[in-house]
Amino acid sequence: GAGVSQSPRYKVAKRGQDVALRCDPISGHVSLFWYQQALGQGPEFLTYFQNEAQLDKSGLPSDRFFAERPEGSVSTLKIQRTQQEDSAVYLCASSLQVFDQPQHFGDGTRLSIL
């Protein structure tokens, strides 16, 4: 079946603009995660959904970052008033809400803020 799909693959925005990044998880996967990956580093957790409920948003760097998953499927990560330090790859992952299950990652959105 289809894997996790993210769009766009690349996004260039000017500082101060708002951006929206989309994630289509694997069908039937209850859990959805967003991670931020800086160049040469491992992914860092941003936020976690179980169905439409956002259970953990402790990793969001500031109140400019907002994520939603209104129908428990597709998720959107929105960044308002972008800053240069927001430049990174944003990865989405999904998994079955069952103990000890791996996460399945999309190829990410590479965001560049000019």
Binding site for other proteins (CB under 8 A): 4, 31, 33, 35, 40-45, 48, 55-56, 59, 91, 93, 95, 97, 99-108
Tell me how far, at minimum, the Cβ of 18 lies from other proteins, in Å.
24
Tell me how far, at minimum, the Cβ of 75 lies from other proteins, in Å.
15
d(CA 24, CA 5): 5
Tell me how far, at minimum, the Cβ of 46 lies from other proteins, in Å.
9
